[in-house]
Structure 1
Amino acid sequence: MQIDYLCDHPALIPELAELNFNEWGQYRPGDNLQARTARMRAACGKGAVPTVVVAIEDAQMLGGALLIDSDLDSRPDLTPWLAGVYVKVEHRGRGIASALVNRIVDEAAALGIAELYLYTDQAQSLYARLGWEVVEHTVDDEGLGITVMKRLIQKA
């Protein structure tokens, strides 16, 4: 398995956008697959915020993760964010999510970012194992109960 920039694999943009839309689209009223794909394409940078990385094995995408400016409208003071960590169901349990998260942390470190944020409604234990700390328990912009977490980053 390798983790690479999505912008180096543009044919995978629609697939990752669809996976993200199917997983989280219901939490963004008015969103659609076309809009999600356009946002994924726009976020497809490297060496900057935003950046998108994907896990690939045997020319197949296993999952992806994003480094973005903001992921929670109610907390514009927190930036930047790890977002959209997703691994296809059939590849879960292999450490791919951890590898994607760690790659985004490395990307942030290389950019000189001191702390990184995320929110989750169910994966707090995964992130805690990877060095993330709880900032607060709150509700997201659509009323879902979530945990906001942060990770202090040592510069590369």
Structure 2
Amino acid sequence: MIRIENLRDHPQYRDRVIDWLWQEFDAENTREFFSSVIDSSLNTADLPLTFIALQGTKIVGTVGLWRCDLISRQDLTPWLAALYVHPEWRSQGVGQQMQRFIKEYSQAAGYEHLYLWATFSGYYERYGWHYMGNALDYPNKSVRIYKCHRYPDDVGL
């Protein structure tokens, strides 16, 4: 059974999470960038937050709840960010479970909407996310923005 827990309660996984994010999402960022985000999530009660998916004591994924994940759309908050599932655990519902967790967490925190961006289509739509349009990721990469409303219409979650 997969458990989703705050990384703050499992700091021994800090470096693994940083390495995963850097390796998966490193396009314009350095390892130090991801280290800064993760360290902020370990040291604040507010956003950003980092959660990990655990199977027993083995970390199998991570996801963030960030104040902003797209510089060109700082008007939108909060964001489901940096969703990563270790390759051995993909196609087993871990990503779906982490999405559900972040949606429920943000709803309980009083957020009306939740956002994310992706460079691909077809995945998030299956889980209740609504395509809003395109925006630019720094410096000039077109990305798709998705929105999840107060969550009554979630599909598959």
2:77 alignment partner, one of 69, 79, 86: 79
Residue identity over aligned pairs, in percent, reads: 25
* TM value normalised by structure 2: 0.88
Per-residue deviation, 1:39: 2.0
Residue of structure 1 in register with 2:132 after alignment: 135
Gaps of 5+ in 2: 153-157
Tell me which residue corresponds to 1:24.
25
| Contact 1:7–1:46, Cα closer than 8 Å, also in 2 | no
The separation in 1 between residues aligned to 2:89 and 2:67, in whole angstroms, is: 28
Structure 2 partner of 1:53? 51
Give the root-mean-square deviation of aligned CA atoms. 1.9
C-alpha deviations, 1:46-103, integer Å up to 9, x for none?
8742221110013111011000100111111111111000001111000101111111
CA distance in 1, matches of 2:151, 2:51: 20
* Contact 1:62/1:87, CA 8 A, preserved across alignment: yes
1:36 is paired with a residue whose SS is helix
Contact 2:72/2:136 (8 A) holds in 1? no
Q: Report the AA paired with residue 35 of structure 2.
A: T
The equivalent of 2:63 in structure 1 is 65
Q: How many residues align?
A: 151
Offset of 1:118 from its aligned partner? 0.5
Q: With the length of structure 1 as denominator, give the TM-score of the two structures.
A: 0.89
Shift of 1:154: 4.8
- Kept in 1, the 8 Å contact 2:72–2:135? The answer is no
Q: How does 1:1-156 map to 2 (within 5 A)?
A: 1-28=2-29, 31=30, 33-44=31-42, 48-122=46-120, 124-154=121-151
Code of the residue aligned with 1:55 in structure 2: it is A
